[in-house]
Structure 1
Amino acid sequence: MSNFLSNTNPNPNKSFEVNQPPTDSVSSLSFSPKANFLVATSWDNQVRCWEVARNGVNVATVPKASITHDHPVLCSTWKDDGTTVFSGGCDKQVKMWPLLSGGQPMTIAMHDAPIKEVAWIPEMNLLATGSWDRTLKYWDTRQSNPVHTQQLPERCYAMTVRHPLMVVGTADRNLVVYNLQNPQVEFKRIVSPLKYQTRCLSAFPDQQGFLVGSIEGRVGVHHLDDSQQGKNFTFKCHREGNEIYSVNSLNFHPVRFMFHLCLIILI
């Protein structure tokens, strides 16, 4: 990736690096829905939190707290009230961290293989977890057993939720769509429009479709309504000469209906 970054302006967006960053690759980033707190998970087994604040023309990042997993951490999400962080990874468990209260993390979910994705669903008051054990599980954090286990066709690689829409991407290019008003039944199963492994997903803000990104530097735009299939398309991105880079993260702007691609932060 050194060739990709070595140009005349290596920081065109005037980005700021956080203080005391992870010592290994970052696997997920999650901003608090209620405050200026950023959480990052990493392959160094850590979950870290920074407070982000503007300091004149600069941005100040203050390390606030961190917790440790037994193995690399792959995913994270906040509870909708901004008090709690959930994180999961290669130790096959999800930890619930009451960050704002200063409480100790506790294990509230388990799988038989690494946990690749977590999502808090406030409309259901449940946590959804997707794993390489080919299951999707829903958890009430007050109980030790899942309230429902959904079999997946293959290992979970990506997941996106905008209630009532959930899309899970698995190995073998499967994209499984669920209507969370009836989560025990698949709404639709789609073969990815991209020819290579799925790396990330992001549901449209209006829940009418989703984006899918792959390891081959492409993004697919897919509408769920059969009458809208003519609007589906794919495009190439993150290419420099003959070099092709994975699309590791997709997200929509919270106000404008546009999306952002993330290449460098998540690797």
Structure 2
Amino acid sequence: MAFSSLSTAATNVNPNKSFEVTPSPSDSISSLSFSPKANHLVATSWDNQVRCWEIHSGSSQPKASISHDQPVLCSAWKDDGTTVFTGGCDKQVKMWPLLSGGQPTTVAMHDAPVKEVAWIPQMNLLVSGSWDKTVRYWDTRQAQPAHVQQLPEKCYAITVNYPLMVVGTSDRNLIVYNLQNPQTEFKRIQSPLKYQTRCLAAFPDQQGFLVGSIEGRVGVHHLDDAQQSKNFTFKCHREGPSGSEIYSVNSLNFHPVHHTFATAGSDGAFNFWDKDSKQRLKAFSRCPNPIPCGAFNADGSIYAYAVCYDWSKGAENNNPSTAKSYIYLHSTQESEVKGKPRVGTGRK
């Protein structure tokens, strides 16, 4: 009996009984983005496709899709929920007027793959970060960038919560910008984590950011020097005796209402955390494949996550016949995402 239940657990592709979005992409999923205005979910994939679904209670309806010439790595919505920006290995960013049914147009170009895109409504500009060691700001009506910012190394991650923008590059550089003065670095710091940066998330109050790395660790970093005592790092996405199996933290997302956050990792698990009380609020069962990305919807009632091969072990370990890609939706419960008082503080 114990053997059969163990075997079932090992092969259960959906151990958290989440709702599956169909049809799923035919290759690994690189990003998930919810519209800020409606339950429209966009996924980008290594199969060169960008897909959108309309999510209803208990159902998902394919809405539309577009193609890039090469794998697509990133996506972001315009703040009005009408338009999606996507970038990838074809070195360009496409603007897709999804709600109007319009055709995508190329609005940004780089000299190497585009790893990150973000829309900055307060500036009416798009920002794109690339492996060509630049961040570029774009007025989408103009062919040339409004500004090109040189980076010390390849861009691996960007997070924007105006006026704060943080860019993570190789060599563990974290470059902080005040977008009220975007052409000047506000601060450059070395990551508090010892290994390569994988993901970033700006605090909802713009006072700092989270950084996740390939070593199964997250850093909580405040920008104000007077708040440095509040900085800390913690281990997550580790398994085995004393955490000897270490997995990458691939995704960091703040809950839009409660300001707690989710981590997702190459161990196939996602967890919800409260940085203020330094507690894990909820740990979910491990899926059989990595989770490369996750996203909350606009009101935080849904957490979407992808389960698929994440290329961390190279192409030689990818088996397309068995490594199917899935997108799942978890309906969040308040007890999972609402912060708790820190033990002994009485904080509400």
Q: TM-score category by the smaller chain?
A: over 0.9
Quote the Cα distance in structure 2 between the aligned partners of 1:265 and 1:96.
Answer: 26
User: Are residues 1:265 and 2:291 paired?
Assistant: yes
Quote the residue 2:71 is aligned against: 72
Quote the residue 1:157 is aligned against: 156
Quote the residue 2:248 is aligned against: 246
Once the two structures are TM-superposed, the CA of residue 9 in structure 1 deviates from its matched residue by 7.5
Quote the Cα distance in structure 2 between the aligned partners of 1:187 and 1:262.
Answer: 29
Q: 1:35–1:189: structure 2 CA closer, same or farther, 3 Å change rule?
A: same
1:26/1:265 contact within 8 Å kept: no
Quote the Cα distance in structure 2 between the aligned partners of 1:43 and 1:250.
Answer: 21
- RMSD over equivalenced CA pairs, Å: 1.6
Matches within 5 A, 1:1-267: 6-7=9-10, 11=14, 13-54=16-57, 59-241=58-240, 242-263=244-265, 264-266=290-292, 267=310
Letter paired with 2:177: Y
Once the two structures are TM-superposed, the CA of residue 245 in structure 1 deviates from its matched residue by 1.5
| Residue deviations 1:8-27 (CA, integer Å, cap 9, x gap) | 98645431221011111111
Larger Rg: 2
Structure 2 gaps of 5+ residues are 1-5, 266-289, 293-309, 311-348
Question: What secondary structure, in the 3-state scheme, does the structure 1 residue paired with 2:229 have?
Answer: helix
Higher relative contact order (CA 8 A, sep 6+): 2
Q: 1:8–1:87: structure 2 CA closer, same or farther, 3 Å change rule?
A: closer
| Residue deviations 1:211-232 (CA, integer Å, cap 9, x gap) | 0001111100000000111111
1:164/1:179 contact within 8 Å kept: yes
Report the more deviating stretch, 235-244 or 184-193.
235-244
Quote the Cα distance in structure 1 between the aligned partners of 2:9 and 2:254.
Answer: 28
Q: TM-score, with normalisation over the residues of structure 1?
A: 0.94
| Residue deviations 1:215-253 (CA, integer Å, cap 9, x gap) | 111100000000111111111111121322111110111
Letter paired with 1:37: H
1:114/1:132 contact within 8 Å kept: yes
Moved over 2 A (4+): 5-14
Q: 1:9–1:228: structure 2 CA closer, same or farther, 3 Å change rule?
A: farther
Structure 1 gaps of 5+ residues are none
Q: Aligned pair count? A: 260
Q: TM-score, with normalisation over the residues of structure 2?
A: 0.73
| Residue deviations 1:151-201 (CA, integer Å, cap 9, x gap) | 001000000000000000000000000000000000000100111110000
Q: 1:89–1:66: structure 2 CA closer, same or farther, 3 Å change rule?
A: same
Quote the Cα distance in structure 2 between the aligned partners of 1:182 and 1:230.
Answer: 27
Quote the Cα distance in structure 2 between the aligned partners of 1:128 and 1:8.
Answer: 41
Question: What secondary structure, in the 3-state scheme, does the structure 2 residue paired with 1:228 have?
Answer: helix
Question: What secondary structure, in the 3-state scheme, does the structure 2 residue paired with 1:248 have?
Answer: strand
Question: What secondary structure, in the 3-state scheme, does the structure 1 residue paired with 2:171 have?
Answer: helix
Quote the Cα distance in structure 1 between the aligned partners of 2:247 and 2:9.
Answer: 15
Quote the Cα distance in structure 2 between the aligned partners of 1:8 and 1:51.
Answer: 29
| Residue deviations 1:37-87 (CA, integer Å, cap 9, x gap) | 000001111100011111xxxx21111111110111000000000000000
Higher strand proportion (structure 1 or 2): 1
Q: 1:145–1:85: structure 2 CA closer, same or farther, 3 Å change rule?
A: same
Quote the Cα distance in structure 1 between the aligned partners of 2:291 and 2:259.
Answer: 22
Q: 1:222–1:265: structure 2 CA closer, same or farther, 3 Å change rule?
A: same
